[in-house]
Amino acid sequence: MRKLFSIMVVSLLLLAAVGSASASGTVTGYVVHGIPGLVVDVYVDGRLFVKNFAPETIAGPLVGPANRSAYVAIVPAGGDPANPALAATVSFPPGANFSVVAHLDANGAPTLSIFDNDFSKTSAARLIARHTAAAPAVDALFFPGTSDELRVGPLANGQQVAADLTPGSYTAGLVPTGTSDIVYGPFSANLQSGRAYIVYAIGSLADGTFKTITQVVNVGY
């Protein structure tokens, strides 16, 4: 678990550590911590960079030069950086905008997923749903139980779906694919024009840690 999470943190947090660069040579990234019960400290080139990085946290945007390598050490919170759980040197190609997510796979084992971010300009409300929880494939039901009910899916662990929607109030719930039994929700959200809403399902249905966390990014004209 520490190894996979360490790779995720290394991949993004080094960006902020190495300073700025020209726009043509930069990368932009976000870190999403979706593994319950794991808190770490992050050291970059020997310096404490992030202390007590906790689950359910989204860090970013972090912008830095592409193709610049940095040495990062990951230790359990309060641990000795001279004895890291993982040490790595990493770099990135220019122009990328992405999110790196440490999460549980469908069977509850820690894993890593990388998602490209579509933050192109729009006047719609962009909804991006990412399945990063220990749960089977799910469908999203919009306006469940009404004549306007809309089913979107299936969405398996490590996958995402995205749609530009008319701004307004929406009611939704998650159901295992092929059923109509809501396992999470229903919940309501007011989606506004010119914003991207990135919803992550994290945790595990089996142990009661399943939940969603949402990131909102301005993508309006």
131 and 99: one domain?
no
Residue 164 pLDDT more than 80?
yes
Query: Which of residues 85, 115, 145 is at a domain's end?
Result: 115
pLDDT tens digit sequence for 4-29? 444 444 444 444 444 444 456 887 87
133 and 200 inside one domain: yes
How many domains, the chain?
2
Pair (89, 169) in one structural domain: no
Whether residues 127 and 106 fall in one domain: no
pLDDT higher than 80, residue 70: no
Strand partners for 184: 174
Which range of residues forms the domain containing residue 14? 2-115
> Is the same domain home to 136 and 181?
yes
- State how far the alpha carbon of 179 is from the alpha carbons of 130, 141, 159, 199, 207, in Å: 20, 11, 19, 21, 21
- Would you give the distance in Å from CA 95 to the centre of its chain? 19
Residue matched to tokens 């662990």: 157
Could you report the per-residue pLDDT of 51-66, keeping only the tens digit for each? 888 889 988 787 777 7
Clarify whether residues 133 and 186 are in a common domain: yes
On whether both 28 and 96 belong to a single domain, the answer is yes
For residue 154, give the nearest of 178, 170, 133 by alpha carbon.
Answer: 178
What pLDDT is stored for residue 11 in this prediction?
47
One domain, residues 103 and 131: no
From 87, 115, 143, the end of a domain falls on 115
Contact 100, 131 (CB under 8 A): no
Q: Give the contacts of 48 (CB within 8 A, at least 6 positions apart).
A: 41, 42, 81
Mean pLDDT for the chain?
82
Is pLDDT above 60 for 161? yes
For residue range 75-128, list pLDDT tens digits in order.
778 988 888 765 666 566 788 788 878 889 999 988 778 888 999 999 999 999
Domain of residue 205, CATH code: 2.60.40.180
Distance CA 39, CA 144 (A): 37
The structure's pTM equals: 0.82
| pLDDT mean over 130-145 | 93
Burial of 39 (0-12, 13-18, 19+ CB in 10 A): middle
Q: Are residues 108 and 145 located together in one domain of the fold? A: no
Residues 92, 138, single domain; the answer is no
Instruction: Give Cα separations from 77 to 35, 71, 162 (angstroms).
Output: 15, 18, 35
CA 67 to chain centre: 23
